Amino acid sequence: MKTEVTPGMFSQAEIAVSKKTPIVMAGFTAIVLVFFGILGTGDVVVWQFTKPDDTFALPDFTVASNTIGLIIGVVLAAITAYAFVLVSQKKHPALWLSLVFGLLAVIALLSWLAAGNKVQFAFILSNAIVLAIPIALGAMAGIMSERVGVVNIAIEGQLLTGAFLAAVVGSLTDNLWVGLLAAMVGAALLSMVLATFSIKFLVDQIIVGVVLNVLVLGVTNFLYSQWLANDGKNANFPGTFPIIEIPVLSEIPILGPALFENRITTYLAFLIIPALWFFLFKTKLGLRARAVGEHPLAADTVGINVARTRFWWVTIGGMVAGLGGAALTIGSVGAFGRDMSGGQGFIALAVVILGRWHPFSAGAAALLFGFAIILRIWANQVSPGIPTDFITMVPYVVTLIAVVGFVGRVRAPAADGQPYIKG
């Protein structure tokens, strides 16, 4: 059939592109130029890229704080101008432009914070990764359940369950592997509760999730103050997994120590993220899972069991979140503390959206938050003059930039959060 379609009809070409990205960029450029550059101090900053004992040590880089602020400020101004030009020509600024902008802004921020001090780059990077692991694993759990159409608000509770069981069971049995297993099974059981109530009994998914979070927080707080606080030596002293250095790879400058000198929990996360991508996008089970999350009725009409698919993906997602919880205790500090997850499960939910329900993007987004957390800790050390409240804001400012700058139109799985009622 021949049709005449006049070009431009139903097209987006003639509609103005949002100026949001350049405007946000302009704001940050102003901050960098004025506060970090013009008003910045001339104190010297030492950028340390490697630790002195690394196999391949790189030389330090020394520069005045306000010089960096000025130079980067000018470059940022140029990028902003370019973004304005693109928008006025009705083109969308590319993602890499926002990424480069963000990276430069962060370098300026670090140089400003560390005026008269050192920026220990390797330290920041490796800690950012360790701190990102629970968030990343929580986000993988979120992706697994939202991809099949169940909103999992209970990630926070699952992280906390995992953290608690890993520490306590690991401590009581004196075996970290048993602790790890207990964390995964416990969080999976919590997921099964969510799955059963939301899939079988069609209770509102958000309500079940919130109830589970409150429940876990209450129970672990109670057990902590009544039991662990008094019997810590016995019940809350599991120790941590040893750090495994991977030969050769760990000697790569800068990235080597950050990526390949880690605990088993971190390595598991490194495996789980690509594995999830592979299952979701390359296998038959993944295709079915996504179909269930997009259009459950259509999946049903080709003989896919919607309830069962949802149940198992949500449950196995819980196991992954449990592993993330274990990473908080036996994969990091070696003991359970009250409200240990501290909202990281909710950050994971944001990471799911920021990562557009995609394992790799979500992994990158989690790293961004890991970086924001370590930045807060580090800035407190190098620059005690800056009010803590201001630095505590950093993760949220990062979220804001990330959401505005990086996330364009996002599209959730079409049936996300919708129960499927069979006719």
Partner 1 sequence: MKLELRGITKRFGSLTANDSINLVVESGEIHSLLGENGAGKSTLMNVLYGLYTADEGEILLDGVAHKFSGPGDAMAAGIGMVHQHFMLIPVFTVAENVVLGNEPTGALGTLNLDVARARVREISDRFGFDIDPDALVEDLPVGAQQRVEIIKALARDAKVLVLDEPTAVLTPQETDELMEIMRGLAKSGTSIVFITHKLREVQAVADTITVIRLGKVVGEAKPTESAADLASMMVGRAVDLEVHKNAPVLGDKGLTVTNLTVVGDRHDKVVDDVSFTVHGGEVLAIAGVQGNGQTELAEALVGLRGVSSGTIHLGELDITASSVREVIDAGVGYVPEDRKKDGLVAEFSIAENLMLNKSFGAPFAKGALIDFANRDRIADELIEEYDIRTPGRDTPAGKLSGGNQQKVVVARELSRDLNLFIASQPTRGVDVGSIEFIHERIIQTRDAGKPVVIISTELDEVAGLADRIAVMYRGRIVGIVDATTSRETLGQMMAGVSA
**Toward partner 1, which CB reaches closer, 18 or 221?**
18
**CB closer to partner 1, 8 vs 247:** 8
Could you give the C-alpha distances from 334 to 127, 186, 349, 421, in angstroms and in order?
Answer: 16, 19, 25, 45
* DSSP one-letter string for 77-144: HHHHHHHHHHHHTT-PPPHHHHHHHHHHHHHHHHHHHTTTSEEEHHHHHHHHHHHHHHHHHHHHHHHH
What is the identity of the amino acid at 306?
A: V
| CB-nearer residue toward partner 1: 143 or 180 | 143
Q: Which residues bind partner 1 (CB under 8 A)?
A: 1-6, 8-12, 14-15, 282-288, 290-291, 294-295, 297-304, 411, 414, 423
Query: In the bound complex, what is the minimum distance in angstroms from residue 13's beta carbon to partner 1?
Result: 9
Q: Is 387 left (phi over 0), alpha (psi -120 to 50) or beta?
A: beta
Query: What amino acid is encoded at 54 in this protein?
Result: D
Q: What is the end-to-end Cα distance of the chain in Å, rounded?
A: 38
Q: Which is nearer to partner 1, 385 or 423 (CB)?
A: 423
Residue 369: closest CA among 389, 388, 343:
343
Nearer to partner 1, 144 or 212 (CB): 144
Minimum Å distance from CB 17 to partner 1? 10
- CA gap 11, 8 in Å, rounded: 5
Q: Which has the closest alpha carbon to 306: 144, 152, 149?
A: 149
In angstroms, give the least distance from the CB of 60 to partner 1: 48
CA 278 to chain centre: 19
Least distance in Å: CB of 279 to partner 1? 9
Nearest-approach distance from CB 1 to partner 1, in angstroms: 6
Query: Do the beta carbons of residue 261 and residue 127 sit within 8 Å?
Result: no
Pairing of strands 44-48, 118-120: parallel
Q: Which is nearer to partner 1, 3 or 89 (CB)?
A: 3
Identity of the residue, 15 or 389, whose beta carbon is nearer to partner 1 in the bound complex = 15
- Which burial class, exposed, middle or buried, applies to 265 when counting CB atoms under 10 A from its CB (0-12, 13-18, 19+)? buried
Number of Cβ within a 10 Å radius of residue 288? 19
Smallest separation, CB 6 to partner 1 (Å): 7
Shortest distance, CB of residue 144 to partner 1, whole angstroms?
A: 16
CA atoms within 13 A on the CB side of 53: 2
Whichever of 6 and 89 has its CB closer to partner 1, that residue is 6
Least Cβ distance, residue 85 to partner 1 (angstroms): 21
Shortest distance in whole angstroms from residue 280 CB to partner 1: 11
User: Closest CB to partner 1 among 40 and 93?
Assistant: 93
